[in-house]
Structure 1
Amino acid sequence: MTTWTIQDVSRQSGLPEPTLRYYEDVGLLGPIARDDRSGHRRYADRDLDDAQVLACLRAMGVGIDDMRTYQANRARGRAAAGEQRDLMVRHAARVEQQIATLTVHLDYLRTKAELWDARDRADRADEQAARAALEAILPRLEESIR
């Protein structure tokens, strides 16, 4: 059986070592075996696989509680497929909302840059066009920051 050090798992999963320790502490990983002589963690292949799954979930912004649910459902296999789907759909909706919010912020920033560019060039027509575009964006911006 292959075992991995915490450094190996960190490198392969992309999770920092403190995060791996934390995930073990909160029950998302492990329990992780220890070397009898040194007491250092020795991760099994399954632990590495779990760490890689958790790294993906973390990168998607999935919180600890949903990670815990995902891991528990993963262990249940096909019997939990519907719950896994629902968890992913809920998270996808949250990400879609974040994208919509960021799109409004991006529109505002680009339009504001156009306004300042027009002022820099002393182009009154472009400045007025940028002001009008900002007026159209402001209600969406205000909604996004509530």
Structure 2
Amino acid sequence: MTALTIQDVSRQSGLSEPTLRYYEEVGLLGPIARDESSGHRRYAEGDLDDAQVLACLRAMGVGIQDMRTYQANRRRGRAAAGEQRDILLRHAERVEEELARLRVHLDYLRVKAALWDARERDDAADEERTHAQLASILPRLEETFR
């Protein structure tokens, strides 16, 4: 069995050492074995795998409770497949909504940049066209603030 330090797991998972300690404290990881002489955490390969899964879920904005359920379901295997799917699809829907908001923000930024470009070139016709584009984006932009 390979014993990994908290630094090893942090580096390989992308989670900070305080986050790893917190995840152990709240039951998302572990229990983590301790070195008998020093008391330092010693992670097994399975712990590293769990940390990497948690890092992915965290990066996608999954909350602690869903992480806890997801980890418990991983241990249950096939019996929890439907619940795992539902958790992931719920978060996929949230990400899709965020992408839609970000697309509107991107459209706004590009049109505003085009407006300033037209002004810099002293191109009144192009400035007028970008104003029209901007007018069509503003209602969608306002929706993203609600």
Q: Normalising by structure 1, report the TM-score.
A: 0.97
Query: Partners in 2 of 1:46 and 1:90 — Cα distance?
Result: 26
1:43-122, aligned counterparts within 5 Å?
43-122=43-122
Q: Number of residue pairs matched? A: 146
Specify the alignment match of 2:7 in structure 1.
7
Specify the alignment match of 2:23 in structure 1.
23
Q: Post-superposition shift, 1:70?
A: 0.4
List, as ranges, runs of 4+ consecutive aligned residues in structure 1 with deviation greater than 6 Å: none
Query: Partners in 2 of 1:77 and 1:41 — Cα distance?
Result: 27
Question: Any idea what SS the aligned residue of 1:91 has?
Answer: helix
Structural RMSD (CA): 0.8
Structure 1: runs of 5+ lacking an equivalent: none
Q: Post-superposition shift, 1:3?
A: 1.0
Q: Deviations over 1:77-136 (max 9, x none)?
A: 100000000001100000000000000000000000011111111110010001000000
Q: Post-superposition shift, 1:46?
A: 1.2
Q: Post-superposition shift, 1:68?
A: 0.7
Structure 2: runs of 5+ lacking an equivalent: none
Query: Partners in 1 of 2:9 and 2:124 — Cα distance?
Result: 58
Question: Any idea what SS the aligned residue of 1:4 has?
Answer: coil
Matched, 1:132 2:143: no
Q: Normalising by structure 2, report the TM-score.
A: 0.97
